[in-house]
Amino acid sequence: MLSKLGRLLIGRSLKTTELKSEKFNVLWGLPVLSSDAISSVAYAGEEILWVLIPVLGIMSYKYMFYSALCVVFLMIMVTLSYRQTIDAYPQGGGSYIVAKDNLGTVSGLVAGASLTIGYILTVAVSTSAGTAAIISAIPFLSPHRVTITLFFIFIITIGNLRGIRESSKVFGTPTYIFMAVILCMIIVGIFKVKVFGYVPKPVYKIPEVVSNITLLLFIRAFSSGCTALTGIEAVSNGIPSFKEPSQKNARIVLELLALVVLIIFGGVSYLSTLYHTVPNTEVTVIAQLASQIFGHNIMFYLVQITTTIILIMASNTAFTGLPLLLAFIAKDGFAPRQFAKRGKRLGYSNGIVILCIISSILVIIFNGETHSLMPLYAVGVFISFTLSQAGMFKRWVKLKNTGWRHKAVINGIGAIVTFATAVILGITKFLQGAWIVFILIPAVVYIMVEINRHYKKVAQQLKLAVNERPKEIDFTKQKRYVIVPIDTLNRSFLKALNYARTISNNIIVFHVSIDDEATARLLSKWHEYDIGIPIVVKKSAYRSVVGPLVKFIESEEYAAGSKDTVTVVLPQFVVTRWWGNILHNQTALFIKTMLLRRRNIAIVTVPYIIFEDNEECLKK
């Protein structure tokens, strides 16, 4: 039943040979890879106002605009830096790869850990912001915030398990509509005030305060706005997805992306200063602007819908990014190997599922108001920026190919600027949650290193020595010790006993007595049965079946020497429906798990199948 449901949701399995992904041209590469970056304008301006409004009141709008300018400057620097990464890593240069390549394993792992945390938070933050956009338009949905957000995460997860990457047009179109709608809003909004002399009516009360701007406050506002930069690295990760000439196309897309973000972020910030928006938990800044500029008509709803869609799609960036990153890390042996395994539909499904689970938990814990996660998110992103830029800087200095000085300067400045921002974010947001990042990243790196140590050790212990050959064994001369545990004398046991007799004539039937009465019944049956196979009964004071069995195998009374392998044949009846397993003591499974920890043992499981219909059973 479960597997049917799975197939319905995820689709039929795909062959490995069907692995090919659509290649993007510039036109469709831009919207697909930019949704994360572009969507951040939906909250970056708002983040700045959250910092300023409570302190500066009406004065905030002036400094908001200055903060936005600083963010724009930072974005230009980062874009220039990433252009060079695209040139240097045609196979895709995520921070993990660039840092590991140039700065060493630990730096790579730090970048990997930051990115992992960043991706997880992207999903939580973006889907929550998407829900916020819906709630701004349809306020009575407010109590269902968490449910709606989880629904979005679920949909994206299913989509990614199916493999939605193929459909760039499905993804690209809403991004273009969003761009168009927001551009339209910016133009109309500016005209309305500047040309037609509209005087915006304040909808929300701006606190009356007389504080003045301080450097610290400005820095805090700026650092809050830095969330606008998140997602900009997606292009350099995605180079292999571009049509040839892929690097050139990627570069063009990166530049266009920066331009679009710049116009939209700058425009929306400017509108905020004109229309005096006040951030609150019920109505987003974008929604406030749209309702003042367009009124509550079709355009307003179009803005809200496209904002929602683009935010949801932004979380999709993480769903393509994180599983790929984890697969890279797993292939290097620093993450559980399962992450490197392709699922039924060829996606790295384990990574997708883990991302779904962790981000859902975050949404539940934070009750769908992930505003408070923003600091964690931004710090992680800027740490990975810094490592990537620093890696590139070192690369140029080492390689010293033509024009290396120029390139080193650009990446060097990029590294310094992003490092400075990371430090600013870390300090200004420390108490608001950034401290968690400084615990999480080392913890994740430690786990990754330990995982690697484990894999190395396993490989070492499994490796065959030179010329290590199997033993020469004449199986006819083997003395095989076989134990068949018995609980009740039934068909399942009989089948196991029959099998045991095909491999040995040295069989002992072993019974652990937990209930005297049941044992007496069994023994009387067994003696009546009389087939010349000895039965050994041991009492178990603690009601454990495994303990006495292990003790017996080790004991003197049992003939096997310490070098002999003892075979334990376990009858196991198998129910055909999944829920059937809930109804039976999984004793066989438990015995197996415990016995597996011993060296000189082989465990044979002989299945006896129980059919749901007795008729079905008779047919077979």
Which residue in 471, 527, 563, 619 binds a second copy (CB under 8 A)?
471
Closest contact distance (angstroms) between CB of 127 and a second copy is 22
Closer residue to a second copy in complex, CB, 305/536: 536
Residue 469 interacts with a second copy (CB under 8 A): yes or no: yes
Residue 3 interacts with a second copy (CB under 8 A): yes or no: no
Rounded CA-CA distance 386/353 in Å is 29
Closest contact distance (angstroms) between CB of 113 and a second copy is 17
Residue 473 interacts with a second copy (CB under 8 A): yes or no: yes
Residue 365 interacts with a second copy (CB under 8 A): yes or no: no
Helices and strands: H and E segment counts in the chain? 22, 5
Cβ pair 428, 219 in contact under 8 A: yes
Rounded CA-CA distance 450/305 in Å is 45
**For residues 502-541, which are near a second copy according to CB under 8 A?**
502-505, 514, 529, 531, 541
Q: Which of helix, strand or coil describes residue 212?
A: coil
Which residue in 143, 403, 470, 534 binds a second copy (CB under 8 A)?
470
Residue 611 interacts with a second copy (CB under 8 A): yes or no: yes
Closer residue to a second copy in complex, CB, 5/541: 541
Closer residue to a second copy in complex, CB, 91/460: 460
Q: Whose structure tokens read 């990997």?
A: 112
Rounded CA-CA distance 322/94 in Å is 11
Rounded CA-CA distance 569/23 in Å is 55
Residue 620 interacts with a second copy (CB under 8 A): yes or no: yes
Distance of CA 409 to the CA centre of its chain: 35
37 by Cβ neighbours in 10 Å (0-12 / 13-18 / 19+) ranks as buried
Cβ pair 560, 553 in contact under 8 A: yes
Of 28, 22, 79, 39, the closest CA to residue 315 belongs to 39
Residue 575 interacts with a second copy (CB under 8 A): yes or no: yes
Closest contact distance (angstroms) between CB of 162 and a second copy is 15
Closer residue to a second copy in complex, CB, 197/532: 532
Closest contact distance (angstroms) between CB of 394 and a second copy is 32
Q: How many chain residues interact with a second copy (CB under 8 A)? A: 85
Closest contact distance (angstroms) between CB of 128 and a second copy is 20
* Amino acid, single-letter form, for residue 403: G
Of 522, 534, 516, 525, the closest CA to residue 487 belongs to 522
Residue 603 interacts with a second copy (CB under 8 A): yes or no: yes
Cβ pair 270, 193 in contact under 8 A: no
Contact pattern for a second copy over residues 312 through 351, marking x by CB under 8 A = ------------------------xxx--xx-x-------
Residue 14 interacts with a second copy (CB under 8 A): yes or no: yes
Residue 576 interacts with a second copy (CB under 8 A): yes or no: yes
Distance of CA 439 to the CA centre of its chain: 19
Residue 13 interacts with a second copy (CB under 8 A): yes or no: yes
Closest contact distance (angstroms) between CB of 522 and a second copy is 13
Cβ pair 149, 127 in contact under 8 A: yes
Closer residue to a second copy in complex, CB, 138/617: 617
**H/E run at residue 414:** helix 404-428
Which residue in 2, 8, 17, 143 binds a second copy (CB under 8 A)?
17
| Helix axes of 285-294 and 168-194: crossing angle, nearest 10 degrees | 60
Closer residue to a second copy in complex, CB, 201/597: 597
Rounded CA-CA distance 238/89 in Å is 11
**For residues 488-507, which are near a second copy according to CB under 8 A?**
488-492, 494, 497-499, 501-505
Residue 162 interacts with a second copy (CB under 8 A): yes or no: no
* Amino acid, single-letter form, for residue 33: L
Which residue in 177, 353, 449, 601 binds a second copy (CB under 8 A)?
601
Number of neighbours of residue 388 by Cβ within 10 angstroms: 32
Residue 585 interacts with a second copy (CB under 8 A): yes or no: yes
Closer residue to a second copy in complex, CB, 280/605: 605
Q: Could you tell me the CA-to-CA distances from 72 to 65, 259, 318, 413, 428 in Å, in that order? A: 10, 10, 23, 15, 20
Residue 551 interacts with a second copy (CB under 8 A): yes or no: no
Closest contact distance (angstroms) between CB of 608 and a second copy is 8
**H/E run at residue 568:** strand 566-575
Rounded CA-CA distance 124/312 in Å is 10
Residue 592 interacts with a second copy (CB under 8 A): yes or no: yes
Q: Whose structure tokens read 């030179």?
A: 466
Options 10-18, 317-325, 383-391, 424-432: segment touching a second copy (CB under 8 A): 10-18
Closer residue to a second copy in complex, CB, 170/357: 357
Q: Left, alpha or beta for 507 (phi > 0: left; psi -120 to 50: alpha)?
A: beta
Which residue in 400, 463, 563, 619 binds a second copy (CB under 8 A)?
463
Whether the upstream peptide bond of residue 245 has omega within 30° of 0, thus cis, is: yes
Closer residue to a second copy in complex, CB, 168/350: 350
Residue 602 interacts with a second copy (CB under 8 A): yes or no: yes
Q: Whose structure tokens read 């319905």?
A: 8
Rounded CA-CA distance 82/93 in Å is 9
Residue 543 interacts with a second copy (CB under 8 A): yes or no: yes
Residue 4 interacts with a second copy (CB under 8 A): yes or no: no
Q: Which two tokens stand for residue 602?
A: 């082989």
Which residue in 140, 205, 466, 468 binds a second copy (CB under 8 A)?
468
Whether the upstream peptide bond of residue 139 has omega within 30° of 0, thus cis, is: no
Closest contact distance (angstroms) between CB of 582 and a second copy is 6
Which residue in 201, 476, 517, 619 binds a second copy (CB under 8 A)?
476
Residue 614 interacts with a second copy (CB under 8 A): yes or no: yes
**For residues 441-460, which are near a second copy according to CB under 8 A?**
451, 454-455, 457-458, 460
Residue 170 interacts with a second copy (CB under 8 A): yes or no: no
Closest contact distance (angstroms) between CB of 257 and a second copy is 35
Residue 584 interacts with a second copy (CB under 8 A): yes or no: yes
Distance of CA 510 to the CA centre of its chain: 48
Residue 400 interacts with a second copy (CB under 8 A): yes or no: no
Cβ pair 393, 385 in contact under 8 A: no
Q: Whose structure tokens read 């490592």?
A: 387
Options 57-65, 127-135, 372-380, 590-598: segment touching a second copy (CB under 8 A): 590-598
Closer residue to a second copy in complex, CB, 199/465: 465
Distance of CA 373 to the CA centre of its chain: 16
